Amino acid sequence: MAAPIRAPRGTQDRLPESAAAWARAETAAADLASSYGFDRIDTPLFERTELFVRGLGEASDAVSKEMFLVGGAAGSDEETPAWALRPEPTAGIVRAYLEHGLQVRPGPLRVWLLGPMFRYDRPQAGRYRQFTQWDVEVIGDPGPSVDAELIELATRYCARLGIGGVQVHLNSIGDEQCRPAYRAALVEYFSAHRDRLSPDGRRRLDANPLRVLDDRTLDPALAAGAPRSVDHLCAACTEHWLAVTGFLDRLGVAYQLDHRLVRGLDYYTRTTFELFAPGREGSQDALAGGGRYDGLVETLGGPSTPGIGFGLGMDRVIMAMSRSGVPGEPAPALVVVVGTQPNDHAERLVIAASLRDQGLRVRPDGSDRKLGRQLESAAKLGARWAVIVGEELTRGAVMLKDLADGTQREIGLHAVAAEIRDASRGPN
């Protein structure tokens, strides 16, 4: 026998038993985005590699280490096209914004996207090579009120799903006016302590000094003494920062300043934020991360346009829901149509189709087994009702069996759906 083929490392099969939790998380995302006036957008799973190199920055981990490159068609002579699976959706959404001239629509553009992302990272719990993000973006709004609105939206989402203990970390990393001086201050500080940096920290110091701060292995004492970006903001960024924190206070959203929150992608300006939920053994994986990207549209060839958004890791949300004991979206009661005769399959199919037309969730038993066996299977499937097709059909009736209490009675076919719906609604 040939050896079975296993799924690629860092991917997950979403088995049917996890469907209810995913349905709850995805429905809440869609409902909430709609209630904040966002429309759905979807972009391709792969884009030209150059989009990510320009958008996220050549030195970012997502581009320099984790890019999932896509080859051309099997057997074709074409040169390998320069495509990559998307590591994140923001660059693709901005590309679509420019490609379709969305900037001429009455703005700002408010869109959301839910789908798989790909990063060729080292797989571990909560870190996958294929994962799902709920992404929310606002393009063309300079803020600062929308900054607070989005942070509040992300916290409301967690609250709606019943995920407790979520903390918001907040920072401002300035803009092209004030960041050079801040970067210089960091370089001066960390250069004086170069020997205390990890090899990766030293590499970051040379390539992108802000990212020394989010090296997880950075000595906390060294980090605590580092210059803070909020102390180096220009007047305009200071005003923006104070307004964002003021709006969050008014909205009652608690947050903590996190001077090390510089984010891993190069497009960020001003506001940056992440949401954390208490994890396994105190692990500190972010549930969500985002911020302002006022230079990204221009970097990708468009006019100077502000933007802000966040991405929420849905796989981590599902894990947090399970840790918090949040149940999934309950599925409607299942009805199984069984039969007493081996030659009544056409009737079972027709009755099942008619019950589905009336809004029920129905699967017919396609076997010729004895009735008792069919009923046993229905109960094992978790069905609540069995519609038994038998000799009553000559009178336009069937037997309806309540698999919860074992009672059954004859009922006219026309009345089955209403009976099931009423009973499923309960005594009130």
Q: What residues make contact with ligand HAM under the rule CB under 6 A? A: 88, 90, 119, 121, 126-128, 131, 133, 135, 137, 264, 286-291, 293, 309-311, 313, 315-316
| Tokens encoding 406 | 């074992």
| Smallest separation (angstroms) from ligand HAM to the CB of 38 | 13
CA 114 from chain centre, in angstroms, equals 6
Q: What are phi and psi of 112, to 5 degrees?
A: -135, 160
H-state helical runs in 164-304: 179-191, 199-207, 220-224, 235-251, 296-299
| Smallest separation (angstroms) from ligand HAM to the CB of 293 | 6
| Smallest separation (angstroms) from ligand HAM to the CB of 281 | 18
Q: Answer yes or no: are the C-beta atoms of 410 and 398 closer than 8 Å.
A: yes
Residue 57 or 289: the one with the smaller Cβ distance to ligand HAM is 289
Contacts of 47 (CB under 8 A, 6+ apart): 83, 84, 86, 91, 92, 95
| Smallest separation (angstroms) from ligand HAM to the CB of 99 | 18
| Smallest separation (angstroms) from ligand HAM to the CB of 257 | 18
Helices 179-191 and 199-207 meet at what angle, rounded to 10? 150
Residue 213 or 355: the one with the smaller Cβ distance to ligand HAM is 213
| Tokens encoding 283 | 């692990």
Rounded CA-CA distance 29/22 in Å is 11
CB atoms within 10 A of CB 228: 16
92-95 long-range contacts, Cβ below 8 Å, gap at least 24? 92/43, 92/44, 92/47, 92/51, 93/41, 93/43, 93/135, 93/137, 93/139, 94/55, 94/139, 94/296, 94/297, 94/300, 94/302, 94/307, 95/43, 95/47, 95/51, 95/300
For residue 339, what are the β-bridge partners? 389
Residue 120 or 189: the one with the smaller Cβ distance to ligand HAM is 120
CB atoms within 10 A of CB 428: 3
Residue 90 or 171: the one with the smaller Cβ distance to ligand HAM is 90
- With CB atoms as reference, the residue minimizing the distance to ligand HAM is 313
| Smallest separation (angstroms) from ligand HAM to the CB of 310 | 5
Peptide linkage before 144 cis (omega within 30 of 0) = yes
Rounded CA-CA distance 118/62 in Å is 9
| Smallest separation (angstroms) from ligand HAM to the CB of 50 | 17
| Smallest separation (angstroms) from ligand HAM to the CB of 82 | 21
Residue 130 or 229: the one with the smaller Cβ distance to ligand HAM is 130
Residue 125 or 224: the one with the smaller Cβ distance to ligand HAM is 125
Residue 137 or 266: the one with the smaller Cβ distance to ligand HAM is 137
Residue 297 or 420: the one with the smaller Cβ distance to ligand HAM is 297
| Smallest separation (angstroms) from ligand HAM to the CB of 131 | 3
Residue 169 or 401: the one with the smaller Cβ distance to ligand HAM is 169
